[in-house]
């Protein structure tokens, strides 16, 4: 999954999935434009350059059109163009109940999580087209597939991202630009740190990820690896898809704990005389 000679712009690159992807893409040969509002994006770039890679840091607001335009311009002026865009930046909007949500929280969550990827595609795709095609990846979530993996405003924004990549890939038909989404399950990042810290403090770390068949949470590198695949020519015929990387969580309808084996045995009795 080589990205040799490619230029990749990654948002949310200061930590978590964005940092892991920046390091992984650079190791695969890409020149990186690492973007984030947080100062930590400079540490990401330092890690890349210390390892012999090429990268530049851009502090920007992923939901600001002016900032997105400036970031894409940096990629073109610094590295000569753009081949890969990973619109990864996102926020939860807070862990509040459905009826405790406010229009302000919803608007801000949608601005960063959904309008941000739209702006990245709008301004990044024309530059990718100039290079003969390439790949755009957006971070959605299993929370965008169905209830149970995040607060309402976050889940709705990520459902929008899934539809956004489908709409964008059709709008870019014939250009050679592929647009896909990766849907992480529970993954240890800055966003989920409070939940992980709470579980560890209570001695319940073993329960993290217990609802998926892998019986654990994910690591940023495991999500970044899917993004790398989608960015590379190995995924040259993958377009308009939302691919879950969640340990198998989204493969199931809700069942009571411990009943899976009972269901299997019941089916066996029905299927076999």
Judge whether 80 and 131 are in contact, CB under 8 Å.
no
Q: How far apart are CA 31 and CA 256, in angstroms?
A: 48
- Residues constituting the chain: 273
For tokens 């899934």, name the residue: 162
Q: How far apart are CA 205 and CA 108, in angstroms?
A: 31
CA distances from 32 to 9, 41, 43, 217, 231 (A): 6, 11, 13, 28, 13
Both tokens of 93, joined, read 């909007």
Q: Say if strands 177-184 and 242-245 run parallel, antiparallel, or are unpaired.
A: parallel
Rg of the chain over CA atoms, in angstroms? 19
Q: Which of 24, 154, 178, 185 is catalytic?
A: 154
Q: What residues contact 214, with CB distance under 8 A and at least 6 apart?
A: 247, 248
Q: What is the DSSP letter of 84?
A: E
Q: How far apart are CA 175 and CA 166, in angstroms?
A: 15
Q: 3-class DSSP state for residue 272?
A: coil
How far is residue 96 CA from its own chain's centroid?
22
> Is residue 154 flagged as an active site residue?
yes
**Residues facing 10 on adjacent strands:** 34, 86
Both tokens of 17, joined, read 């999935």
Residues serving a catalytic function are: 154
């Amino acid at each position: 999954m080589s990205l040799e000679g490619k230029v990749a712009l990654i948002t949310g690159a200061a930590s978590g999935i964005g940092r892991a992807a920046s390091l992984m893409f650079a190791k695969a040969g890409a020149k990186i434009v690492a973007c984030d509002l947080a100062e930590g994006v400079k540490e990401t770039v330092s890690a890349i350059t210390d390892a012999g890679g090429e990268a530049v840091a851009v502090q920007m607001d992923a939901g600001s059109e002016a900032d997105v335009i400036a970031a894409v311009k940096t990629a073109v002026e610094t590295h000569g163009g753009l081949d890969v865009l990973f619109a990864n930046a996102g926020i939860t909007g807070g862990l509040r109940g459905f009826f405790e949500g406010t229009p302000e929280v919803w608007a801000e969550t949608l601005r960063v999580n959904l309008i941000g990827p739209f702006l990245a595609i709008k301004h990044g795709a024309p530059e990718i087209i100039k290079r003969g095609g390439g790949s755009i990846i957006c971070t959605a979530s299993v929370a965008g597939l169905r209830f149970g993996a995040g607060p309402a405003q976050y889940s709705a924004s990520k459902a929008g991202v899934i539809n956004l990549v489908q709409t964008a890939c059709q709008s870019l038909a014939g250009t050679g630009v592929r647009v896909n989404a990766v849907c992480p399950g529970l993954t240890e990042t800055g966003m989920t740190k409070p939940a992980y810290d709470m579980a560890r403090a209570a001695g319940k770390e073993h329960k993290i990820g217990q609802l998926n068949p892998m019986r654990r949470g994910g690591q940023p590198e495991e999500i970044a690896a899917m993004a790398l695949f989608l960015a590379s020519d190995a995924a040259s015929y993958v377009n308009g898809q939302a691919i879950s990387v969640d340990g198998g969580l989204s493969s199931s309808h809700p069942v009571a704990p411990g009943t899976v084996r009972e269901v299997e045995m019941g089916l066996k009795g029905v299927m076999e005389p």
